[in-house]
């Protein structure tokens, strides 16, 4: 009888365990949007931005920012849910005043972000996948890498596979964003639309468009950004990536180039 129960238990558990092992690796990197997939229960993903350079210039000044160690840790707590912890380890900023020629150098760390992603349909990201993701940003970093106050928001990522090669994705965000002066919050809305093409089983390229409506008390404005990224998975649990974003109007950041690595455990 004991052997019978053991055999029955193996039959019941084996499909679930096999399914968890066969779930394809779905990192958050690269790109602007957020995927709807979640990590399998007990699985972790460590995703690190090894280098990120951005530039933003106007008639008054030019600011170059370089980030390294932009880290996201994801852990599956259920078949349809994961928790996330994000932090930027180190940043360098160089700001040059165009009128006086003076240059200001700063360095520091970024804020900590804590999030929960709850998938509502197809947690492996196949077919039509939908999730909700509330998050909180803790102000532990210093300006210009940290926001200066507590922030929060809700993201709603959605993806749909058109074929074996093509898929579409959107990320809708509602944010209590920190004011530009680092004190208090205001409403901000963000929408990202993207299309992904799998060039092979290991290589994919993604094109995205982002629209942001920002109601900061100091400056109500909208921003538009275009992005292109490339991901390569040489192994089932490893991904390398690179990408670039370009501001499409004068309110958006001018340009950004980045690369990183993701590893599943």
Q: pLDDT (tens digit, 9 = 90+) per residue, 61-96?
A: 999 999 999 999 999 999 999 999 999 999 999 999
Cβ atoms within 10 Å, residue 33: 26
- What 3-state class would DSSP assign to 27? coil
Domain with residue 142: its CATH number is: 2.40.160.40
- What 3-state class would DSSP assign to 96? strand
What's the pLDDT score for residue 166? 97
DSSP 8-state class, residue 40: P
Per-residue pLDDT tens listing for the chain (265 residues): 344 334 334 433 333 333 444 799 999 999 999 999 999 999 999 999 999 999 999 889 999 999 999 999 999 999 999 999 999 999 999 999 988 989 999 999 999 999 999 999 999 999 999 999 999 999 998 888 888 899 999 999 999 999 999 999 999 999 999 998 888 999 999 999 999 999 999 999 999 999 999 999 988 999 999 999 999 999 999 999 999 999 999 999 999 999 999 999 9
Which tens digits make up the pLDDT trace of 139-166?
998 888 888 899 999 999 999 999 999 9
Q: Supply 18's token pair.
A: 């096999």
* pTM, full prediction: 0.88
Domain boundaries, position 136: 2-264
Exposure on the CB side of residue 263, measured as CA atoms within 13 A: 6
Q: Residues 6 or more apart from 139 whose CB is under 8 A from it?
A: 111, 146, 147, 148, 149, 150, 151, 178
**CA–CA separation, 259 vs 168, rounded Å?**
22
The alpha carbon dihedral of 126, 131, 137, 143 has a sign of positive
- What 3-state class would DSSP assign to 214? strand
Number of separate domains in the chain: 1
């Amino acid at each position: 009888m004991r052997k019978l129960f053991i055999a029955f238990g193996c039959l019941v558990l084996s499909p679930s365990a096999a399914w968890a092992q066969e779930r394809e690796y779905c990192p958050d990197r690269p790109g602007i949007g957020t995927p709807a997939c979640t990590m399998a229960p007990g699985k972790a993903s460590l995703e690190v931005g090894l280098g990120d350079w951005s530039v933003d210039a106007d008639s008054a000044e030019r600011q170059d920012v370089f980030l390294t160690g932009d880290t996201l840790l994801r852990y599956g707590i259920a078949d349809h849910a994961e928790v996330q912890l994000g932090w930027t380890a180190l940043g360098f900023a160089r700001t040059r005043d165009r009128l006086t020629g003076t240059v200001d150098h700063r360095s520091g760390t970024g804020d900590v972000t804590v999030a929960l992603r709850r998938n509502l349909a197809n947690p492996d990201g196949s077919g039509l996948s939908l999730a909700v993701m509330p998050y909180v940003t803790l102000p532990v970093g210093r300006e210009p890498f940290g926001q200066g106050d507590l922030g929060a928001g809700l993201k709603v990522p959605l993806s749909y596979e058109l074929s074996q090669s093509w898929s579409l994705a959107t990320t809708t965000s509602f944010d209590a964003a920190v004011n530009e002066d680092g004190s208090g919050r205001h409403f901000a809305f963000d929408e990202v639309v993207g299309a992904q093409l799998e060039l092979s089983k290991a290589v994919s390229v993604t094109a995205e468009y982002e629209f942001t409506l920002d109601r900061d008390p100091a400056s109500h404005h909208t921003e538009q950004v275009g992005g292109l990224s490339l991901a390569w998975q040489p192994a089932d649990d490893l991904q390398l990536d690179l990408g670039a974003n370009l501001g499409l109007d004068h309110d958006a950041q001018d340009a950004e180039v980045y690369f990183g690595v993701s590893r599943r455990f």
